[in-house]
């Protein structure tokens, strides 16, 4: 029920994460718990779409929230909280990529990757069994094709097409200007289409 209230607040334009972080700064430890409960699922889904490894995704998500916890005193509400949070996650994904070389092409399912925050699942309950099967097959094909993109292109698609972030917020996560991000996203979508066409 609490998460539903949080989601409603987010739709109304309230920066819930920033409010919770500021409350956490002022000594409200429960506010940090609220941050984890609200953002863990979409954050884990975003990370998984980049690294495609369930265990690694969980490790990175834990590292992100540890960074948030350690930023208790230094945090300043100078940007949208989700932008700040996802930028931490993106940078940790890049670090993991450098540390491990080429990221593993692990197709292990993760519940968060198909969570309610994902645009691709929004009408799931209205599908017939056959339509659901076809939708699942199409999703798996897209996820497979995404692995052929580099991390930046994969992140651009994940942020906008799956997590529903605006161009402005997504550009900030990747430390790009909005025009540069739009160019990156355009290339990513075009490359994804070419890969999917080659498979069919």
- Its domain, for residue 18, covers 1-103
pLDDT in tens, 38-85: 999 999 999 998 888 889 999 999 999 999 999 999 998 888 999 999
Residue after which a domain boundary falls, among 103, 136, 151: 103
Q: Is the pTM of this model over 0.75?
A: no
pLDDT in tens, 157-191: 999 988 889 999 999 999 999 999 999 999 999 99
For 151-161, letters b (16+ CB in 10 Å) and e give: bbbbbbbbbbb
What letter would DSSP give residue 148? T
User: Does residue 113 form part of some domain?
Assistant: no
92 and 138 co-located in one domain: no
189 and 93 co-located in one domain: no
131 and 199 co-located in one domain: yes
Confidence check: pLDDT of 35 > 50: yes
User: Does residue 118 form part of some domain?
Assistant: no
pLDDT, the chain, mean: 79
97 and 62 co-located in one domain: yes
Residue after which a domain boundary falls, among 69, 103, 137: 103
User: Does residue 110 form part of some domain?
Assistant: no
Alpha carbon distance 64, 155 (integer Å)? 16
What is the rounded average pLDDT of the residues 126-141? 59
* Residue 145 pLDDT class (50, 70, 90 cuts): confident
User: Does residue 4 form part of some domain?
Assistant: yes
CB 171, CB 178: distance < 8 Å:
yes
User: Does residue 150 form part of some domain?
Assistant: yes
The per-residue pLDDT for 100 is: 64
The per-residue pLDDT for 154 is: 92
How many domains are contained in the chain? 2
CATH number for the domain spanning 38: value is 1.10.1740.10
User: Does residue 115 form part of some domain?
Assistant: no
SS (H, E, C) 67-131: HHHHCCCCCCCCCCHHHHHHHHHHHHHHHHHHHHCCCCCCCCCCHHHHCCCCHHHCCHHHCCHHH
CB 161, CB 118: distance < 8 Å:
no
85 and 142 co-located in one domain: no
The per-residue pLDDT for 101 is: 57
User: Does residue 151 form part of some domain?
Assistant: yes
pLDDT in tens, 79-96: 899 999 999 999 999 988
């Amino acid at each position: 029920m609490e998460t539903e209230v949080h989601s409603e607040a987010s739709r109304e334009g309230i920066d819930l994460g920033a409010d919770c972080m500021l409350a956490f700064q002022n000594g409200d430890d429960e506010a940090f718990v609220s941050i984890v409960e609200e953002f863990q699922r979409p954050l884990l889904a975003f990370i998984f779409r980049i690294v495609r490894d369930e265990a690694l995704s969980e490790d990175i998500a834990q590292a992100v929230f540890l960074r948030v916890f350690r930023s208790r005193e230094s945090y300043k509400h100078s940007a949208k909280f989700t932008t700040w949070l996802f930028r931490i996650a993106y940078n940790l994904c890049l670090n993991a990529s450098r540390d491990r070389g080429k990221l593993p092409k692990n197709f292990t399912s993760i519940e968060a990757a198909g969570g309610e925050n994902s645009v691709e699942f929004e009408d799931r309950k209205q599908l017939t069994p056959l339509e659901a099967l076809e939708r699942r097959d199409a999703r798996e094909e897209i996820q497979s094709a995404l692995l052929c993109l580099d991390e930046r292109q994969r992140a651009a698609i994940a942020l906008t097409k799956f997590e529903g972030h605006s161009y402005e917020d997504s550009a900030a996560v990747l430390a790009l200007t909005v025009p540069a991000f739009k160019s990156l996203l355009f290339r990513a979508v075009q490359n994804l289409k070419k890969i999917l066409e080659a498979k069919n």
